[in-house]
Chains A and B, each alone.
Chain A
Amino acid sequence: EVQLLESGGDLVQPGGSLRLSCAASGFTFAGQAMSWVRQAPGKGLEWVSSISGSTDSTYYADSVKGRFTISRDNSKNTLYLQMNSLRAEDTAVYYCAKGATLIDQWGQGTLVTVSS
């Protein structure tokens, strides 16, 4: 059974940093593209970033480019999202998702709140 377990969400001040983690199990993590998708309170889904499975190519939404960095550690079956220069509009539940073209599994999400 595929499991994606996010962690690292917290309350952080504007301008601060946070690193999210996603522990994956139940599938061959290495070689599998992965994504982060967020959902602001009461709003719809917004794709944030993806990383390829083979070449580690990375892709970002314009809203986070230059501030967020996606990475992975295949030895630990873990996906990361380093978030810097956080803004109030980054407040959301962040979901880890398996896939990038055919997203097929989602984690339970971790809440990031950016507020002073």
Chain B
Amino acid sequence: DVVMTQSPLSLPVTLGQPASISCRSSQSLVHSDGNTYLNWFQQRPGQSPRRLIYKVSNRDSGVPDRFSGSGSGTDFTLKISRVEAEDVGVYYCMQGTYWPRTFGQGTNLEIK
């Protein structure tokens, strides 16, 4: 199975400051079709997950442009340019290239 390793697992951030979450996979996520199926999800307290980013760097409709994704191969990053109060929650990366699908452990973003 592909292991997804996120860091940090806890991320205290001051409002207005940037935040960065790393996600590393145990093998390259480049699919045979040429795409890299790395997704990022946000789960606010008490809510269902919501997708923010798909295929590494594509932002979903309605997602603020302060969120961005980057990376390639086995190394990926989710960045928030300026953290707002509504960004509190747990962030997960997930790979959709291999079966079984696997998630990272989650990164808990809180306001310092």
Contacts and interface: CB of A to CB of B under 8 A. Distances in A.
The contact size tier of chain B is 20 to 34
Contacts of A61: 100
Interface in B1-54: 37, 39, 41, 43, 48-51, 54
Contacts of A103: 39, 51, 94, 96
Interface residues of A, number: 22
Specify the main secondary structure of chain B where it touches its partner.
loop
Interface in A52-78: 59-62
Interface of A: 35, 37, 44-47, 50, 59-62, 95, 100-109
A77 B17 CA distance: 44
A100 B100 contact: no
Q: Kindly list the 4 A-B residue pairs having the minimum CB-CB distance in the complex, ordered from nearest.
A: A101-B96, A47-B101, A106-B48, A44-B106
